[in-house]
Amino acid sequence: MSTSDQVRAILGGTIQAYRGEPAYRHRPEVFYELERIGGRLNEPIRIALAGTLKAGKSTLVNALVGEDIAPTDATEATRIVTWFRHGPTPKVTANHWRGRRSNVPINRSAGLTFDFRALNPADVADLDVEWPAEELASATIIDTPGTSSLTRDASERTLQLLIPPDGVPRVDAVVFLLRTLNAADVALLKQIGHLVGGSAGALGIIGVASRADEIGAGRIDAMLSAADVAQRFTREMNQTGICQAVVPVSGLLALTARTLRQSEFVALQKLAGVDSATLNKAMLSVDRFVRVDSPLPVDAGTRAQLLDRFGMFGIRISIAVLAAGVTNAAGLADELLERSGLVALRRVIDQQFAQRSDMLKAHTALVSLRRFVEVFPIVATPYIIADIDPLLADTHAFEELRLLSQLSCRPTTLNEDEIVSLRRVIGGSGTDPASRLGLSPGDVYGHEGPRAAFAAAQRWRRRAEHPLNDPFTTRACRAAVRSAEAMVADFAARGFDASDVRPG
Ligand SMILES: Nc1nc2c(ncn2[C@@H]2O[C@H](COP(=O)(O)OP(=O)(O)OP(=O)(O)O)[C@@H](O)[C@H]2O)c(=O)[nH]1
Ligand SMILES: [Mg+2]
């Protein structure tokens, strides 16, 4: 029985138990809540983007979706939690504090904005955007107001979503954007980690070193220094034991790459044709670049638009890419997308969240249900908790996720090489057998896969028994044994058996 099925079974039993309690029989809201917990198992995973004020959250939402749908900068909407879900046609609904819902007109003149004229933002609990974007079919993305001590009200809304006072998680995973690492961010991350992963450790948080193109002040090597900064972030964040990975990303560059216009390509091509002395001089600063009397062969209005869409770094990198011989808009878009860090971020999101979305959702459901039966106690509460707790503790996929985040911050007696392969076996580079065993997808279901899985199980069993291990090292090695054994069993179930394999 899959973990999700086990969760469904526990939920079914819980609903029965509440039906049998006279005190709750006529309280439909209790059953509504239980059904909501169960219903979420069938919905796409919920990923919230959070971080400090102006970290670039809304821009990154747009880059991930590939369309300009999250309002950026100082509109009222940036101060309200906004849910982006897949839907057949564009539709924006405001959920008001006392349960009323109202339709919000969409204004598409300059980028997308929501028409708030008929609304009082203070009265809106959150916004629900349905949009026919393919990217939203597998994940619901939640844009949150930036946290800062200056905007208490907006910060409060984010905290209510990420650290709800009732302890019932609203989201399954978090992408946390940081431009610097300060004590307030770390404290907030710790609180979030506690809730998302339960007390036993974080399950789903990815860090993003955001607006990475600005780190090198628009220089061509900005993304290189961004990678350095991300590495430092990673080390520091790892010491907090919260994030599984930190990735440098320029959301602005990614969004522009995904929505690149032919006219922009043409303008950049003209700039790329300018001799380098003139170009360097004209691009010494933003002010110079947008000057009306600039010698550049592109009018000032277009230059200002380019700056808005690409940033200084994006323009420089585009010119360099074009000078290196890229001749069409699609080629330029691909290069920019790769350099923006979005490709890397999506890979990490896929490895850490998408491939494990059932597990993350099951985890959310268990934590929510546990909380629910404590708040609304019935005779069966201790029995329900006795069903939930072993599942939370023993589900191997949860243990893999906890270890993936803890491996980087807890001392072990493993050497670097061992840590790399252990991380891989427990799914740190992807949960499919090829990724876990470091084989190509073509080889894994031949002779190679079963043999490698069998060897991994033996290797980690031996390593788990090493007399100098501390308890954490032993625990990690045992988890690797379990992951490898699960693969051996899976290969056997598919008709591949390691013991049958002859050298060949
Ligand atoms: N250079 C650069 N600018 C960016 C990037 N991402 C966002 N910006 C700019 O930063 C400003 C804020 O971006 P938003 O996406 O609105 O940031 P946010 O975190 O949603 O802001 P709040 O919701 O108000 O906290 C805008 O002017 C963006 O154009 C980036 O990757 N690079
Ligand atoms: Mg925003």
In this predicted structure, the answer to whether residue 108 has a pLDDT above a threshold of 80 is: no
The pLDDT of residue 220: 60
- Which atom number of ligand 1 is nearest to the Cα of residue 312? 1
In this predicted structure, the answer to whether residue 500 has a pLDDT above a threshold of 70 is: no
In this predicted structure, the answer to whether residue 199 has a pLDDT above a threshold of 50 is: no
- Interacting residues of 279 by C-beta distance below 8 A, sequence separation 6+: 271, 296, 319
The bound ligand whose nearest atom lies closest to the alpha carbon of 72 is 1
> Residues 308, 309, 310, CA angle at the centre, nearest 5°?
100
Question: Whole-prediction pTM value?
Answer: 0.81
The bound ligand whose nearest atom lies closest to the alpha carbon of 151 is 1
As a whole number of angstroms, the distance between CA 415 and CA 38 comes to: 43
As a whole number of angstroms, the distance between CA 43 and CA 93 comes to: 19
As a whole number of angstroms, the distance between CA 189 and CA 177 comes to: 10
Residue bearing the CA closest to ligand 1, atom 10: 56
Q: Are strands 139-143 and 45-51 parallel, antiparallel or unpaired?
A: parallel
In this predicted structure, the answer to whether residue 504 has a pLDDT above a threshold of 50 is: no
- Which atom number of ligand 1 is nearest to the Cα of residue 214? 1
Question: 367 pLDDT band (50/70/90 cuts)?
Answer: confident
Ligand 1 pocket, Cβ-based, cut-off 6 angstroms: 53-59, 72-73, 78, 145-146, 211, 213-214, 250-252, 311
Tens digits of residue pLDDT in 411-425: 899 998 999 899 999
The structure tokens listed for 335 are 């290069």
Instruction: Measure 146 CA to ligand 1 centroid, in angstroms.
Output: 11
DSSP state string for 408-430: TTS--S--HHHHHHHHHHTTBTB
Question: 219 pLDDT band (50/70/90 cuts)?
Answer: low
Total length of the chain? 504
Share of the chain above pLDDT 70, in %: 87
More confident residue, 501 or 282: 282
Question: 502 pLDDT band (50/70/90 cuts)?
Answer: very low
The bound ligand whose nearest atom lies closest to the alpha carbon of 342 is 1
Instruction: Measure 143 CA to ligand 1 centroid, in angstroms.
Output: 12
In this predicted structure, the answer to whether residue 116 has a pLDDT above a threshold of 50 is: yes
Range scoring the smallest mean pLDDT among 341-355, 402-416, 435-449, 484-498: 402-416
In this predicted structure, the answer to whether residue 408 has a pLDDT above a threshold of 70 is: no
Average pLDDT over residues 12-26: 92
Average pLDDT over residues 380-406: 86
- Which atom number of ligand 1 is nearest to the Cα of residue 311? 1
Residue bearing the CA closest to ligand 1, atom 29: 252
As a whole number of angstroms, the distance between CA 426 and CA 419 comes to: 11
As a whole number of angstroms, the distance between CA 495 and CA 38 comes to: 35
Q: What is the largest CA-CA distance in the chain?
A: 84
Tens digits of residue pLDDT in 309-339: 999 889 998 999 999 889 999 999 999 999 8
Ligand 1 site-directed mutation target among 52, 53, 57, 59, most atoms within 8 Å of CB: 59
Report the run of H or E that residue 207 belongs to, with start and end. Answer: strand 205-210
Residue bearing the CA closest to ligand 1, atom 14: 56
In this predicted structure, the answer to whether residue 221 has a pLDDT above a threshold of 50 is: yes
In this predicted structure, the answer to whether residue 503 has a pLDDT above a threshold of 50 is: no
- Which atom number of ligand 1 is nearest to the Cα of residue 62? 15
Instruction: Measure 299 CA to ligand 2 centroid, in angstroms.
Output: 31
Mean pLDDT: which of 188-192, 415-419, 452-456 is highest? 452-456
Tens digits of residue pLDDT in 35-80: 999 998 999 988 999 888 888 999 999 999 998 888 887 666 778 8
- Which atom number of ligand 1 is nearest to the Cα of residue 340? 31
In this predicted structure, the answer to whether residue 228 has a pLDDT above a threshold of 80 is: no
Instruction: Measure 66 CA to ligand 2 centroid, in angstroms.
Output: 16
In this predicted structure, the answer to whether residue 202 has a pLDDT above a threshold of 60 is: no
- Which atom number of ligand 1 is nearest to the Cα of residue 55? 19
